[in-house]
Chains A and B, each alone.
Chain A
Amino acid sequence: MTYIKLALKNILRHQTRTFLALLGIATSVALIFSIISFNRGFERGLSKELDATGLHFMVVSSGCPHEVASLVLHAAVVPKFLDIDIVNKLKQFDGIELISPILITQLPNPQKGRIDIIYGMDMNHISQLKPSWKIDGQLPSNDSEVIIGFEIADHDKLKVGDMITYTDYQKSFKVSGIIQKTGSQDDAYIYMPLKAIQEILNKPQGVTAIGVKVSRPQELNYITEEISMNVPGIQIVTMGQVLNSLANLAASAKTLSLSIAIIAIIISAVGVMNLILMAIFERTQEIGMMRAIGASRQDIFNIIMYETIIITVSGGIIGIIFSVAASGIIENFVRIFMPYVPSGRMILFEPLIAVSCLVFALIIGILSGTYPAWKASNISPIEAIRG
């Protein structure tokens, strides 16, 4: 038998009390673990998603650039249109590898009772912009064919060769290809030749954004500066800026929620301290007995310390297991409050975060155990066993 076993048996004496203290710690650690993991997942998912666009910057009409860029990522309708002439102007700059006008819009799909997100683009650019895509079927060969994301196909049970009809516009499109699951928002869009969507919207020259890929990314700053100075009426948003503004958003949300979690953990640490102090008070005579039969002050200190640490660390382990197990629920909950969250799983089990959380729980244990342990180690055997 060891100290640890002794401490464990002591803890198990008051199961309800211990359980409540444990619950407090577990909840706080679960909070912290979820927040940090979510934030990590957010940043990871975001850069993955931005990489998936295959572009270095977006040209949009002037306005709030970051918002517009987020809208582009979201594939929501951007109210302002750019003129396609801008494309010709952009072509005059050196170092540009690809200019791809994009028109993102929403089309009502009465047959399915929902609104489809249409991503209108030059189909010839797909191999460059979306190199990771694997397409079942083939790219549209004319303006009455589309390719669709995995989720759309899965949900509507669409196969290559099926038709999608927009009755409001009396237009039908043949599904020429289905993109295999990407895990990003790409899965939820319908990709239509730019001309086709321009025609539907009756905006033959309209685009919402122009995606640009440069041949040498290290010249990105120079190129964007040149373009800004020479082409009026546009805004340039680099993917780095989009990443930053979204990451900042996530970071401030993280700071706020972490502060709440820290307050929660302080409260639960006080709860643990109270539990241990109560237990010591009740066990005064027993501790006196232990001193009489050979326990040193250090022994008593250690036993009490172990008790506290066992509670906080096992609370931490339970909290981590809980937040990994319930990550789906937690994610859906957070998604409600965040204006933009990349698709895919955010909370993944990362050993480093888990270990850090456990170290944190250990420190909480040490902090909340020190005073009770010190108090217990000062119990005099004589006072205690007078009974």
Chain B
Amino acid sequence: MIEVKNIEKVYQRGSERVYALKDISFIARKGDFISITGPSGSGKTTLLHLIGCLDKPSKGFIKIDGIEIEKMKEPDLLTVRRQKIGFVFQHFYLIPGLSVLENVMLPLIFARKKRDLDEIISIIDKVGLKKRIYHTPNQLSGGEMQRVAIARALINNPEVLLADEPTGNLDTENSENIFELLNSLNLGGLTVIIVTHNPELAGRTKRIIKLKDGKME
């Protein structure tokens, strides 16, 4: 469970204080599928970063599985990221020279964890790329690359999958496929939080958090 309570994120720009987020509170329970929507600059990505332990709120608190993260120092945040969170990005960010298998294994290396090859392959199978484990990113389509990125996010068995515009770089058909994949992962019990511009996709998640000027509508 992720608990977000009264958080604020303030940036200092010269003498001006800019509120990226103001008074945000919500709870994401296990198995939730939440979309964060809103216009550009409304603070969607900032909120995702805070939930993803990439940044700390200026005020308020965030609890992930009962752990308060806003008081944590970087090494502990790193541990939370490794154990609890899977990230998917708009631009996939696969490493070009590495195969699908190696890209998916990357978080294991950083977390100093070992998993059986069979287990890893079964995760790649979940995203439908079992036959392409030795292909490199340049041999894959955009939709396939995002699948690899999702498999990579799943490799550490996270509590929550955070996706920043996961379909933002894909055509309609691939967007649909990726959304369906996220949906099926959610149906399997995984908490999924996505940031999206696409109101149609947002409408198909269980809950929508709409942001405007850093505040919830």
Residues of A within 8 A of B (CB): 1-3, 5-6, 9-10, 12-13, 285-286, 289-297, 299, 381-382, 385-387
Let me know if A1 and B52 touch, CB within 8 A. Answer: no
Question: Which residues of A are found within 8 Å of B164, using beta-carbon distances?
Answer: 385
- Residue from the list A3, A381, A382, A385 in contact with B109, Cβ < 8 A: A3
**Given A385-B89, A385-B164, A387-B91: A293 and B97 interface contact (C-beta under 8 Å):** no
Let me know if A9 and B97 touch, CB within 8 A. Answer: yes
**Given A3-B109, A296-B78: A289 and B49 interface contact (C-beta under 8 Å):** no
Provide a sorted-by-A list of 12 A–B residue pairs whose CB atoms are within 8 angstroms: A2-B109, A3-B109, A5-B102, A12-B97, A13-B97, A292-B52, A293-B81, A293-B153, A296-B75, A381-B49, A381-B54, A385-B91
**Given A9-B97, A285-B93, A286-B93: A293 and B52 interface contact (C-beta under 8 Å):** no
Q: How long is the Cα–Cα vector from A285 to B96 in the complex, in angstroms?
A: 13
- Of A12, A291, A292, A387, chain B has the most CB atoms within 10 Å of the CB of A292
Question: Which residues of B are found within 8 Å of A386, using beta-carbon distances?
Answer: 45
Q: Is B142 an interface residue (CB 8 A)?
A: no
Let me know if B109 and A1 touch, CB within 8 A. Answer: yes
Q: How long is the Cα–Cα vector from A5 to B49 in the complex, in angstroms?
A: 30
Let me know if A382 and B93 touch, CB within 8 A. Answer: no
- Residue from the list A285, A286, A294, A385 in contact with B107, Cβ < 8 A: A294
Let me know if B54 and A1 touch, CB within 8 A. Answer: no
B100-132 at interface with A (beta carbon < 8 Å)? 102, 105-107, 109-111
B65-100 at interface with A (beta carbon < 8 Å)? 74-75, 78, 81-82, 86-87, 89-91, 93, 95-98
Q: Is B147 an interface residue (CB 8 A)?
A: no
Let me know if A1 and B81 touch, CB within 8 A. Answer: no
- Residue from the list B98, B107, B110 in contact with A296, Cβ < 8 A: B110
Let me know if B93 and A294 touch, CB within 8 A. Answer: no
Q: How long is the Cα–Cα vector from A293 to B90 in the complex, in angstroms?
A: 14
Q: How long is the Cα–Cα vector from A386 to B109 in the complex, in angstroms?
A: 24
Q: Is B156 an interface residue (CB 8 A)?
A: yes
Q: Is B22 an interface residue (CB 8 A)?
A: no
- Residue from the list A13, A285, A297, A382 in contact with B49, Cβ < 8 A: A382
Q: How long is the Cα–Cα vector from A340 to B33 in the complex, in angstroms?
A: 84
Question: Which residues of A are found within 8 Å of B106, using beta-carbon distances?
Answer: 6, 290, 293
B168 to chain A, nearest CB (A): 9
**Other A-B pairs, 18, CB within 8 Å; known A294-B110, A381-B49:** A2-B109, A3-B109, A9-B97, A10-B97, A12-B97, A285-B93, A286-B93, A289-B89, A291-B54, A292-B81, A292-B89, A293-B86, A293-B110, A381-B54, A385-B89, A385-B93, A385-B164, A387-B89
- Residue from the list A2, A13, A299, A387 in contact with B96, Cβ < 8 A: A13
A108 to chain B, nearest CB (A): 69
A71 to chain B, nearest CB (A): 62
Q: Is B152 an interface residue (CB 8 A)?
A: yes
Let me know if B109 and A292 touch, CB within 8 A. Answer: no
Question: Which residues of A are found within 8 Å of B95, using beta-carbon distances?
Answer: 6, 9-10, 286
Minimal Cβ-Cβ distance residue in A for B105 = A1
**Given A1-B109, A382-B54, A382-B55: A294 and B96 interface contact (C-beta under 8 Å):** no
Question: Which residues of B are found within 8 Å of A382, using beta-carbon distances?
Answer: 49, 54-55
Q: How long is the Cα–Cα vector from A327 to B86 in the complex, in angstroms?
A: 56
Let me know if A1 and B96 touch, CB within 8 A. Answer: no
Q: How long is the Cα–Cα vector from A385 to B87 in the complex, in angstroms?
A: 11
Question: Which residues of A are found within 8 Å of B75, using beta-carbon distances?
Answer: 296
Let me know if A295 and B110 touch, CB within 8 A. Answer: yes
Minimal Cβ-Cβ distance residue in B for A285 = B93
Minimal Cβ-Cβ distance residue in B for A300 = B110
Q: How long is the Cα–Cα vector from A386 to B90 in the complex, in angstroms?
A: 9
Q: Mark B170-197, 1 if CB is under 8 A from A, else 0.
A: 0000000000000000000000000000
Let me know if A294 and B89 touch, CB within 8 A. Answer: no
Let me know if A293 and B109 touch, CB within 8 A. Answer: no
Minimal Cβ-Cβ distance residue in A for B46 = A382
A289 to chain B, nearest CB (A): 4
Minimal Cβ-Cβ distance residue in B for A288 = B93
Q: How long is the Cα–Cα vector from A326 to B102 in the complex, in angstroms?
A: 40
**Given A293-B107, A293-B110: A285 and B97 interface contact (C-beta under 8 Å):** no
> Which 3 residue pairs spanning A and B have beta carbons closest together?
A9-B97, A289-B93, A294-B110
Minimal Cβ-Cβ distance residue in B for A384 = B93
B50 to chain A, nearest CB (A): 10
Q: How long is the Cα–Cα vector from A385 to B102 in the complex, in angstroms?
A: 21
Question: Which residues of B are found within 8 Å of A6, using beta-carbon distances?
Answer: 95, 98, 106, 109
Minimal Cβ-Cβ distance residue in B for A299 = B110
Question: Which residues of B are found within 8 Å of A2, using beta-carbon distances?
Answer: 109
A122 to chain B, nearest CB (A): 74
Question: Which residues of B are found within 8 Å of A5, using beta-carbon distances?
Answer: 102
Minimal Cβ-Cβ distance residue in A for B168 = A387
A317 to chain B, nearest CB (A): 22
Q: How long is the Cα–Cα vector from A232 to B98 in the complex, in angstroms?
A: 83
Minimal Cβ-Cβ distance residue in B for A297 = B74
Let me know if B90 and A387 touch, CB within 8 A. Answer: yes
Question: Which residues of B are found within 8 Å of A289, using beta-carbon distances?
Answer: 87, 89, 93
